[in-house]
């Protein structure tokens, strides 16, 4: 195995500041393990100064208490505690806004994003990449989740103007230039995977073995993942609206063709005409279902416009030991 020092042999005496952003929600049994594993890695990287930004996303357990204890013991640890649970997207944008490093690394707090990958990601950043993405294999994942995930990415890539890569999550490193680009997109309904792909920039993908969660329960249930997938598709493009139009036109053509066929059959072979109970019910159910789906898609877009117009903040901070946002420091 290549030693960590080999990744940074060309750095010389140059030092830089890196920010690591980790959102936590009800992770009282994991936060100390995450911190220990993270510190074990970053303490070996002597050529960089680290800032650890822990986000408490309205946890209802003792996550924040343990976060405070860690921050008291390590001055590198900064914390931001939300007034309630605003969701992972809010935690992500808060961390990016408050980070002061010249590069920012996003990680999950459940050790499924292995800290051991940090040296490779930092080395790629030193090579000139503005975005370094970690792509996991699906080893050890439940078969039905793998099946659904692969088909989601296939569907999403057909319905979006950008490309999403299967297995690439929010475990990424961004240069300061990329961070500014992400923060310039101020929409309320955020889909980070789409935003990260949309900004472009020079990117390198690093693969790693899937890490199975050992402590606690996953926050990504099948229902949550399905809702997140639908929200992502609808939040990031208007192709579903165009699909509703195309589907409506297709149904109209089928209806006209069926009417013409019935009209011709009435004159050519009137004896074969039978009043179709099944045909009537089928048509009502089919076209009624299509109308309901189309109305639902329209309703989702109208609802998102409603939230965008309100211009509510993405999050509210209850407690923090950071004085101001990183972007304000830059200005």
Q: What is the pLDDT of residue 330?
A: 56
Residue 9 has pLDDT above 50, yes or no: no
In a domain, 79, yes or no: yes
Same structural domain for residues 181 and 205? yes
Same structural domain for residues 108 and 246? no
Alpha helices of the chain — where are they, by DSSP H? 4-7, 31-42, 63-73, 88-98, 118-126, 143-159, 176-183, 192-198, 222-236, 239-268, 277-310, 326-330
Same structural domain for residues 146 and 279? no
Q: What is the pLDDT of residue 74?
A: 87
Query: In whole angstroms, what is the distance from residue 216 CA to residue 101 CA?
Result: 31
Q: What is the pLDDT of residue 171?
A: 87
Same structural domain for residues 198 and 219? yes
In a domain, 76, yes or no: yes
Same structural domain for residues 155 and 217? yes
The parent domain of residue 116 ranges over 15-237+313-330
What average pLDDT does the structure give for the chain? 76
**Region of poorest pLDDT, from 106-110, 188-192, 222-226, 274-278:** 274-278
As a whole-number percent, the residues of the chain with pLDDT over 90 amount to 4
Same structural domain for residues 288 and 189? no
Query: In whole angstroms, what is the distance from residue 57 CA to residue 31 CA?
Result: 13
Same structural domain for residues 253 and 321? no
Q: What is the pLDDT of residue 220?
A: 57
Cβ-proximal residues to 120 (8 Å cutoff; 6+ apart), any chain: 7, 206
Taking only the tens place, the pLDDT of each residue in 205-224 is 888 877 665 665 655 555 66
Pairing of strands 77-82, 131-136: unpaired
Closest listed residue to residue 217, CA positions, set 55, 27, 24:
27
Taking only the tens place, the pLDDT of each residue in 39-52 is 888 888 767 788 89
Q: What is the pLDDT of residue 270?
A: 62
Residue 276 has pLDDT above 50, yes or no: yes
Taking only the tens place, the pLDDT of each residue in 76-126 is 889 999 988 888 888 888 899 888 888 899 988 888 888 888 888 888 888
Residue 13 has pLDDT above 80, yes or no: no
Pairing of strands 77-82, 48-56: parallel
Closest listed residue to residue 57, CA positions, set 112, 109, 115:
109
Q: How many domains does the chain have?
A: 2
More confident: 99 or 263: 99
Q: What is the pLDDT of residue 8?
A: 47
Within 10 A of 179 (CB to CB), how many other CB atoms are there? 24
């Amino acid at each position: 195995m290549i030693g960590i020092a080999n990744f940074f042999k060309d750095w010389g005496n140059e030092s830089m500041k890196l920010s690591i952003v980790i959102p936590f929600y009800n992770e009282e049994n994991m936060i100390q393990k995450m911190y220990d594993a993270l510190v074990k890695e970053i303490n070996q990287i002597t050529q960089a100064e680290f800032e650890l930004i822990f986000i408490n996303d309205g946890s209802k357990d003792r996550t924040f208490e343990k976060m405070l204890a860690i921050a008291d013991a390590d001055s590198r640890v900064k914390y931001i505690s939300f007034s309630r649970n605003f969701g992972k997207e809010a935690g992500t944008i808060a961390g990016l806004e408050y980070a002061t490093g010249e590069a920012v690394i996003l990680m999950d707090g459940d050790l499924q994003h292995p800290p051991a990958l940090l040296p490779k990601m930092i080395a790629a950043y030193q090579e000139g990449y503005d975005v370094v993405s970690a792509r996991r294999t699906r080893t050890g994942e439940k078969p039905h989740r793998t099946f659904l995930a692969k088909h989601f990415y296939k569907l999403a890539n057909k319905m979006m103007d950008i490309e999403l890569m299967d297995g690439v999550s929010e475990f990424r490193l961004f240069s300061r230039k990329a961070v500014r680009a992400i923060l310039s997109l101020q929409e309320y309904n955020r889909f980070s995977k789409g935003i990260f792909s949309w900004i472009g920039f020079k990117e390198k993908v690093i693969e790693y073995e899937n890490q199975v969660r050992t402590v606690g329960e996953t926050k990504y249930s099948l229902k949550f993942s399905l809702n997140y997938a639908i929200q992502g598709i609808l939040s990031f493009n208007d192709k579903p609206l165009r699909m509703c139009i195309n589907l409506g036109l297709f149904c109209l053509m089928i209806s006209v063709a069926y009417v013409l066929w019935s009209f011709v059959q009435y004159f050519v072979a009137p004896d074969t005409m039978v009043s179709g109970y099944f045909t009537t019910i089928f048509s009502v159910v089919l076209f009624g279902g299509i109308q309901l789906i189309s109305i639902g898609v329209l309703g989702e877009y109208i609802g998102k416009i409603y939230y965008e117009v309100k211009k509510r903040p993405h999050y509210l901070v209850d407690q923090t030991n950071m004085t101001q946002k990183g972007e304000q420091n830059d200005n």
